[in-house]
Structure 1
Amino acid sequence: MTLFFPMPGCRIDAVTRDVPEHLHIAARGTATTAGCPDCGHPSRAVHSRYQRHPADLPSLGCSVRVGLRLRRFYCLNPACARRTFAEHLPGLVAPYARRTRRLATTQGRVGVALGGEAAARLLPHLAMPTSADTVLRLVRAVPPPECQSPRVVGVDDWAMRKGRTYGSVVVDLERRRVLDLLPDRTAATLAGWLQRHPDVAVVARDRSTEYARGITLGAPDAAQVADRWHLLANMRQAVERWLGSAHVRLRRLPPLPGRDAEPKAAVAFGKRTKAFPRTGADVDARAAGSERRRALYEEVRRRHLVGEPLLSISRTLRLARGTVRKYARAEAFPAHAARGPRPSIIDPHIAWLETQVAAGRGNAAALWRELRALGFAGTARQVRRWLNEQRIGPAPNTPHQWRHPKLVDSSATDVVLAGLPMPRQLSWLLVQPARCLSKTDTATVAHVKQDQDAAVVADLARRFTELVRTSGISGSPTADARPIPELAAWLAEARACGVRAMATFAAGIEQDGAAVRAALTMPWSSGQAEGQINRLKLLKRQSYGRASLDLLRQRVLLAA
């Protein structure tokens, strides 16, 4: 019987089936003596007997409950304050527990994988029913895994509540597992963790100055490695900030001969080249919005020129800090560029419509009826709006009062008609390798490089990103030092280039110089930490609002 139902410290008397899906195992303790839990004095004197009914692991698809008949002993030590004590079975069930240790461990492991609510829904189908709260209590009781002393770690922040509360995750980069979750992202907390792990020799991090200070305080002899992805992202952001201030000037650049000034007759047949015209109300609303933005721009510039901090301006005017920074650095009002044609339901039928118009047919209602038979699901108004753009004169049946409509004055709006991408998209083009750009993107970059400062920024940005991409990838912690002289030459050129954005970025790189040089010569990065944060987000969202730090930390460590 013990072969099929092992009961450490017990002897099985009977196994019965009370109901079709439930087994009952009657067992009793076999020890001849028991030790007092307070003084440890052994005793054979039985005071009484009592029954316990803990649940156990299922068998043959049936839930199992054990009927344990245990004894209570007298404590024969006169100096002990305890008069009686119960018989214990440490290999089977804990004191006062309603389930065996093996059942508690199994239910806790299911909770680690699924969370409380999901585990509570699954466990009844596995013949181990329990509540979601009990599952979480059992998850907390699972002992955390033992980890060897780490040597190379990565640290990054993660959001408990995005935009409000943040913590830090520490990852063993050699063994690819999470070591700990810290309650915040301050230097003191990270320094305390590093002081408890004196064997750490390398720490990979992002560009956070708080993490840099924490590593310096907690592990002054450890090498700090800046993450290469963050270096590339910081460069793109620096280029985007500069473009935000110079974008208006770049949109006024003349077209390149043979590239930008292509004849309009070369437009592909059957494609729209511009957006549909706006109504008068839309034009008025756009102009009013532009005036509001211009007033805010002028107010931000006025406050910034008298020395008011950007954060104070943001709070006073109730503007986002990014918007305030963009307005403060812009050389001129950053008006919205004209939008290109967006996808329309009429686009697949434009070629057919152009053929009909070329044949002399100009009745919108008739064209719409034929289009509807061909599968067009739009209205006649959409066909009429497209047809109005193609006419070079009024239709023959147009009433006289409508033959000379009042034209909308497009100069009333503040829209710049140059087709230059916005700063965010343009910054991507300037930092990408030239071999990765399409012909259109290459022409855009060449157009922008007519500006002297833009040419300097594009050249510095591309050289820096190429340096970062081709360094630190040899796989050896002692890679060659070839990028170091190249970085020094790049920094000297960036400081003397005359573009404030590049000089500021170079100053930041010099301030974090040791970590940046390590990033260019060592293979470590915080990429693993980013991947573990993705897993952490999944576990947090599985918790249905029950993701307190201690529970989330337990699940992350056990899932590693």
Structure 2
Amino acid sequence: MPTSATTLLRAVRALPLPSAGRPLIVGVDDWALRKGRTYATIVIDLEHHRPLDLLPDRSAAALATWLRHEPQIRLVARDRSTEYARGTTIGAPGARQVADRWHLLLNTRQMLERWLARVHPRLKQVLPTTPAAASVRRTKAYPRAPAEVLTRAAAVERWQALYDDVRRRVAAGQSLRRINRETGLARATVRKYAFAPRFPRHGLRGPGPSILDPYLDHLSARLEQGCENAMQLWRELRGLGYPGTPKQVGRWLNERRTRPAKTTIRRWQRSPAAATTKPPSRPPLPSPKQLSWHLLRDPDELDPAAAAAVARVLQDGEAAKVVGLARRFCRIVRSGCGGRRAGSTAVAAFDTWVAEARSCGIRVVESFAAGLDQDRAAVRAGLELPWSSGQAEGQINRLKLLKRSMYGRAKLDLLRCRFLLAA
């Protein structure tokens, strides 16, 4: 039967939605209708593993309105959003709120990352416990072309200007929410700039793959033998199957020469003695985000480079205190939900941890502990009960698949029909 696309979409919108029944235990989470700009809310029936509804935004008013039509609900699993907490309190005051354990671990890592972003310049000055072993593996990218260097410098200048603007607004007494609204920066970026005493720069980032990597052992061996001819090394690599040009080999060799190349311009040449007088530099430190992952992982799972970075950071007294508190809280969260006895033990350990963290003298940790204390009932329920918002995360993945199958152009009403009917 031939028909137009508009008629088909109108028919889909007119289909009756399936009956959701009377859910008792639900989970709520947010999802991006347009990433970074527009967010909505998904509601899941945790007992029957099925979606219930899509709400137009992630505000407390929208969730409270939906919950008022379902007065029988007795438990709501959520993340630590204050909007969802307030909406649940207004719309279902008799329901018990459960903080999701995965989000508690995520918030802990984010707290550690915020602290690291502030003290990263200081931690860079800490000397490693053991000297780094020589390795032929690359620890940084190859030198960039002049045009790429200029582009990167211009981008840093733009971000520096944004940082200065945020700091001026904070000094003028503007709230972080207002700065986020007026500048258009992400909330996390505004918070990071507002509390950073200096412009936060990226730490060490792992180099990307290069076609030269499989031949680094051969290059290092030939360099030890005294060969510093880039064309000769390239010819040898070509015989081993290297598909690249001599330029990449020259870039690698330029950083390791003991004497100037014959083709080097005279005014650029330096004597070997001048090259050896350069003071040894401290090894680079991973970025705050990478460090936050390394510091919270099991030490037995770290590779030698990550373990050395962790040992270097933990020499700082304040870092040892912050990392110790973060690791303790992660152990408490993971030990919960192992039965009634394990849950009660985790709750008691959580109460002790909050009291200690709120008086530790470190602002970021105290703020994080104060937030947990305000949400104490939900966090304790998350440690005692097996419910979480994990099902909501899985349903969001399915929702994204449907959204992308329509090239991301579906309005919320059509996406809601397809999502609920497909369930």
Normalising by structure 2, report the TM-score: 0.85
* Alpha-carbon displacement from aligned partner over 1:147-187 (angstroms, at most 9, x marks no partner): 33111111122233333333222111101111222223232
CA distance in structure 1 between the aligned counterparts of 2:25 and 2:358, rounded to whole angstroms: 34
CA apart distance, 1:307: 3.4
Pick aligned residue for 2:258 from 375, 392, 402: 392
Aligned residue in 1 for 2:211: 345
Aligned residue in 2 for 1:78: none
Contact 1:252–1:418 under 8 Å retained in 2: no
CA distance in structure 1 between the aligned counterparts of 2:181 and 2:68, rounded to whole angstroms: 39
* Alpha-carbon displacement from aligned partner over 1:338-389 (angstroms, at most 9, x marks no partner): 6665543323223333444444544333332343233222222333333334
Alignment map for 1:523-542 (pairs within 5 Å): 523-542=386-405
CA distance in structure 2 between the aligned counterparts of 1:509 and 1:138, rounded to whole angstroms: 48
SS at match of 2:123: helix
CA distance in structure 2 between the aligned counterparts of 1:303 and 1:550, rounded to whole angstroms: 39
Aligned residue in 2 for 1:172: 45
Are 2:108 and 1:267 equivalent residues in the alignment? no
Letter in 2 for 1:267: A
Q: 1:397/1:466 Cα in 2 relative to 1: closer, same or farther (>3 Å)? A: closer
* Alpha-carbon displacement from aligned partner over 1:437-495 (angstroms, at most 9, x marks no partner): 34443332222111121111101111111111121244x7x974222211110000001
Alignment map for 1:313-392 (pairs within 5 Å): 321-337=187-203, 342-392=208-258
Between 285-294 and 194-203, the greater mean CA deviation after superposition:
285-294
Aligned residue in 2 for 1:465: 330
SS at match of 1:170: strand
SS at match of 2:309: helix
Contact 2:127–2:282 under 8 Å retained in 1: no
Q: 1:344/1:147 Cα in 2 relative to 1: closer, same or farther (>3 Å)? A: closer
Q: 1:349/1:134 Cα in 2 relative to 1: closer, same or farther (>3 Å)? A: same
Q: 1:372/1:522 Cα in 2 relative to 1: closer, same or farther (>3 Å)? A: same
SS at match of 1:481: helix
Aligned residue in 2 for 1:74: none
CA distance in structure 1 between the aligned counterparts of 2:13 and 2:261, rounded to whole angstroms: 79
CA distance in structure 1 between the aligned counterparts of 2:204 and 2:408, rounded to whole angstroms: 45
CA apart distance, 1:189: 2.6
* Alpha-carbon displacement from aligned partner over 1:89-126 (angstroms, at most 9, x marks no partner): xxxxxxxxxxxxxxxxxxxxxxxxxxxxxxxxxxxxxx
CA apart distance, 1:432: 2.5
Q: 1:467/1:417 Cα in 2 relative to 1: closer, same or farther (>3 Å)? A: same
Alignment map for 1:110-121 (pairs within 5 Å): none
Aligned residue in 2 for 1:85: none
CA apart distance, 1:337: 4.0
SS at match of 1:178: strand
Contact 1:433–1:462 under 8 Å retained in 2: no
Using CA pairs under 8 Å that are at least 6 residues apart, name the structure with larger relative contact order, 1 or 2: 2
Are 2:361 and 1:492 equivalent residues in the alignment? no
Contact 2:24–2:73 under 8 Å retained in 1: yes
CA distance in structure 2 between the aligned counterparts of 1:171 and 1:323, rounded to whole angstroms: 31
- Which runs of 5 or more structure 1 residues have no equivalent in the other structure? 1-127
Aligned residue in 2 for 1:57: none
CA distance in structure 2 between the aligned counterparts of 1:546 and 1:296, rounded to whole angstroms: 32
Letter in 2 for 1:462: R
Are 2:320 and 1:455 equivalent residues in the alignment? yes
CA distance in structure 2 between the aligned counterparts of 1:146 and 1:282, rounded to whole angstroms: 57
Letter in 1 for 2:369: A
Contact 1:479–1:522 under 8 Å retained in 2: no
Letter in 1 for 2:420: L
Letter in 1 for 2:332: L
Question: Please, what is the CA RMSD of the aligned residues?
Answer: 3.4
Q: 1:472/1:480 Cα in 2 relative to 1: closer, same or farther (>3 Å)? A: closer
- The alignment-based identity, stated in percent, is 56
Aligned residue in 1 for 2:66: 193
Between 187-196 and 200-209, the greater mean CA deviation after superposition:
187-196
Of Structure 1 and Structure 2, the greater helix share is in: 2
CA distance in structure 1 between the aligned counterparts of 2:266 and 2:336, rounded to whole angstroms: 73
Number of corresponding residues: 418
Q: 1:174/1:297 Cα in 2 relative to 1: closer, same or farther (>3 Å)? A: closer
Aligned residue in 1 for 2:366: 503
Contact 2:205–2:287 under 8 Å retained in 1: no
Aligned residue in 2 for 1:233: 106
CA distance in structure 1 between the aligned counterparts of 2:39 and 2:64, rounded to whole angstroms: 17
Contact 1:337–1:418 under 8 Å retained in 2: no
CA apart distance, 1:515: 0.8
Alignment map for 1:42-53 (pairs within 5 Å): none
Letter in 1 for 2:134: V
Are 2:115 and 1:242 equivalent residues in the alignment? yes
Of Structure 1 and Structure 2, the greater strand share is in: 1
SS at match of 2:98: strand
SS at match of 1:224: strand
SS at match of 1:482: helix
Q: 1:181/1:364 Cα in 2 relative to 1: closer, same or farther (>3 Å)? A: closer
CA distance in structure 2 between the aligned counterparts of 1:534 and 1:401, rounded to whole angstroms: 60
CA distance in structure 2 between the aligned counterparts of 1:346 and 1:480, rounded to whole angstroms: 53
CA distance in structure 2 between the aligned counterparts of 1:163 and 1:215, rounded to whole angstroms: 24
Between 283-292 and 176-185, the greater mean CA deviation after superposition:
283-292
SS at match of 2:344: coil
Alignment map for 1:98-109 (pairs within 5 Å): none
Contact 1:433–1:466 under 8 Å retained in 2: no
CA distance in structure 1 between the aligned counterparts of 2:401 and 2:291, rounded to whole angstroms: 34
Pick aligned residue for 2:296 from 426, 431, 436: 431
CA distance in structure 2 between the aligned counterparts of 1:398 and 1:509, rounded to whole angstroms: 62
CA distance in structure 2 between the aligned counterparts of 1:161 and 1:293, rounded to whole angstroms: 24
CA apart distance, 1:214: 1.6
